[in-house]
């Protein structure tokens, strides 16, 4: 595992914790939850590109 992938995984886990905390609040902010979900989705895409790079075609 590369250092970059490790850092991305750490950030992904931190986002997961933040999202869980935001959802647990009594008056959860839907905008904050949506923004955290979007960040998590983008991070998942970055991790997928590192794990499964596209083959070069010519």
User: Exposed, middle or buried, 18 (CB in 10 Å: 0-12/13-18/19+)?
Assistant: middle
Q: What are the structure tokens assigned to 50, written together?
A: 């590192």
pLDDT digits (tens, 9 = 90+) for 10-39: 999 999 999 999 999 999 999 999 999 999
pLDDT of residue 42: 95
**pTM score, whole prediction:** 0.80
């Amino acid at each position: 595992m590369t250092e970059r992938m490790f850092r991305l995984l750490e950030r992904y886990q931190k986002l997961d914790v933040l999202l869980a905390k935001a959802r647990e609040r009594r008056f959860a902010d839907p905008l904050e939850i949506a923004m955290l979900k979007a960040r998590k989705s983008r991070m998942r895409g970055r991790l997928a590109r590192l794990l499964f790079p596209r083959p070069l075609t010519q």
